[in-house]
Structure 1
Amino acid sequence: MADTDTTALVPGQSIARDNGERMGRSPGGHLVQLRRRIAEPGFVVTADDVPDAVLTTDWAHANEVFDRLMHPG
């Protein structure tokens, strides 16, 4: 995702790349990313305001976590 400019994203906005990876800004303005893992099979979901990343091999679970971080509460 390094080739995608995240500064243009506004709070509440998310975009998907052609490979299914997603990124967005939560309503609070925090960067949220869903990426494919490189070293091992699976996916990682991160948010710049959450200290721990979520690692999973399940695509549906990764999307659920991304949506939950994008729309807390």
Structure 2
Amino acid sequence: MADTDTTALVPGQSISRDNGERLGRSAAGHLVQLRRRVAEPGFVVTSGSTRGDAVLTAEWAHANAAFDRMMRED
């Protein structure tokens, strides 16, 4: 995701990459990322909020739900 410029994203906005990964700015302005894991199958969802939440899951639906939740809450 390093090749994607996130500075233009406004709070509440997200974009999807061609490989299905997503990134956005939460309602509070924190960077939220949904990435495919490299070392193991599955996905990781992280937020740049001070809470430092991270969700590791093998389920695509669970990863998307976590991303959507972090976009609203963080």
Question: How much has 1:3 moved relative to structure 2?
Answer: 0.6
Give distance in 1, aligned partners of 2:16 and 2:60. 14
TM-score (norm 2): 0.93
Other-structure match for 1:40:
40
Q: Identity, % of aligned pairs?
A: 76
CA separation of 1:52 and 1:71: change in aligned 2, threshold 3 A: closer
Residue 12 of structure 1 aligns to which amino acid in structure 2? Answer: G
Runs of 4 or more above 3 Å deviation: none
Structure 2 unaligned blocks of 5 or more: none
State the 1:52 CA deviation: 3.2
- CA deviations 1:23-52 (Å, max 9, x no partner) are 000111000000000011000000011323
Matches within 5 A, 1:55-66: 55-66=56-67
Q: CA RMSD in A?
A: 0.8
How many pairs were matched up?
72
Give the drift of 1:71. Answer: 1.3
Unpaired runs of at least 5, structure 1: none
SS in 2 for 1:70: helix
